[in-house]
A and B are shown apart, each in its own frame.
Chain A
Amino acid sequence: MSGFAAVLRKDLRLELRSGESTLALLALSMLVLVVLVFALGAARVRSVDAAAGALWVAMVFAGMLGANRALLAERDNGAIRGLLLSPLDPSTLYAAKLCAAFIFMAVAEVGAVILMVLFFNLDFDASMARLAPILVLGAIGFSALATLLSAITGRTRGGDMLLPILVVPIFVPALIAGVKASAAALSGAPFESMGDWLKIMIAFDVLFVTAGYLLFEHVVGGD
């Protein structure tokens, strides 16, 4: 447990010091939203479906960057080897990296939601509170998956390009559920109506956090 706290604290301290990741994530989210506003055209920018879709596109791109960043710090000076040699469990390392990626993503999401409301002419009202759990579930699932897979792509040639190719198809179920649930939340539908979508997201999160926890040692260890 102390290893988990030490790694997470170290990652957050590095992030607070430079602010690189969070800023990059926020900038990317904003650009994605701007591009989508122009791509969709002013007429469609009023619909909550478009807003929910745009929010999730921003989230997927920012999440990819966030997961990469969480492992990037370990590549300088080969620090990852120092961690693997220490008594720290690879699974604990995964848990800490997952938390760090989640926190970076959550910060970017708050920014993205604010921008979405402004760009898509929505209101800051009760629908935001309904949106929060959906985004949290989405960010957990995405961080879990992307942390595991970026440990793979970070160690192969041309890996940064491979990460989206591997992550996006696997993330599809959570993406479908997230977009649908977000659109429902923004249009003011009752919470119960999103129940099935939330269940899919919870199942996705449980499955991929467990898988990452169990499989991480195979992707960081050896050779």
Chain B
Amino acid sequence: MSAPVVEIRNLEKTYGLAFVLREVQLRLLAGAGAFIIGGNGAGKSTLLRILAGLEAPSGGHALVFGQDTRRLAARYRRRIGLMAHQSFLYPNLTARENLEFYAELYSLADPRECAHQWLGRVGLAEVADTRVRAFSRGMEQRLSAARAMLAEPALLLLDEPFASLDHDGAEIVAALIRGAVERGACVLATTHGIPEIDGVELAVFEISRGRLMQHAHKEEGRRGGRIRSLLGR
């Protein structure tokens, strides 16, 4: 029985007098796809940043691959892909150079080939040698998705992956998410509307007043909506 990819117990995050997250419980196994919805400032991004180890929780535990996210060793970090609001891309490098750089950081076998493939996959092959500075927000978002998924992470954290994407772009990213779930990665994404991705069973959670609840399911709703150990099967 393998450990859950994500395990959150009683997580809290406060900034001074304001709390962002409280009593958050979540368990995700490999191959699970989950979306979190909630209004602006609900704490969705904070939750993803905590899981990526970029922010420390104020209380409770956040475990990824069974490791505390406050101290993730390199070999666990390399299995996490994060697509955040900020693209993490260098405006003065071309799309290809950006991907090659990250491929080198993740010590992938053939950075050049890898960058080439991913540029094709996100439909940016034609602008591969254009600097990211000149990209539209949607193009940057596609490249950011490629950057996050480059090293085939076992845990994919996506913050608003469909934001500013056109119809084609959204299709591409949806296909990538489906692909990741199919190869057994665990995907946790935030979004505004309730998403639908063909062929993937998605669990939907909502963050409301700092708490994470499973969304719109009858039985769970009646029991107060607190998530104990869902997902997985």
Contact = CB atoms under 8 A, between A and B. Distances in A.
A81 B56 CA distance: 14
A81 B86 CA distance: 9
A103 to B, nearest CB: 17
Interface string A43-78: 000000000000000000000000000000100111
B147 interface: yes
A84 B80 CA distance: 12
Contacts, number: 77
B91 interface: yes
Nearest to B131: A17
Contacts of B107: 2-3, 87
Interface residues of A, number: 26
Q: How large is the interface on B (under 10, 10 to 19, 20 to 34, 35 or more residues)?
A: 20 to 34
Interface stretch (A6-14, A116-124, A134-142, A177-185): A6-14
A82 B102 contact: yes
B43 to A, nearest CB: 16
B56 A14 contact: no
Contacts of A13: 93, 97
Contacts of A18: 92
Contacts of A76: 90-91
Given A10-B101, A87-B106, A82 B147 contact: yes
Contacts of B78: 86-87
Contact of A77 (B75, B77, B89): B89
Given A79-B88, A82-B88, A6 B104 contact: yes
Nearest to A14: B92
A54 B92 CA distance: 35
A93 to B, nearest CB: 10
Interface string A210-223: 00000000000011
A81 B54 contact: yes
A222 B72 CA distance: 11
Interface in A1-45: 2-3, 5-7, 10, 13-14, 17-18
Interface string B20-57: 00000000000000000000000000000000111110
A88 B87 CA distance: 18
A85 interface: yes
A81 B97 contact: no
Nearest to B100: A6
A168 interface: no
B104 A84 contact: no
Contacts of A2: 104, 107
Contacts of B231: none
A76 B92 CA distance: 10
A78 B54 CA distance: 12
A86 B102 contact: yes
11 contacts: A2-B104, A14-B92, A76-B91, A77-B86, A77-B91, A78-B84, A78-B88, A79-B90, A81-B54, A87-B107, A222-B70
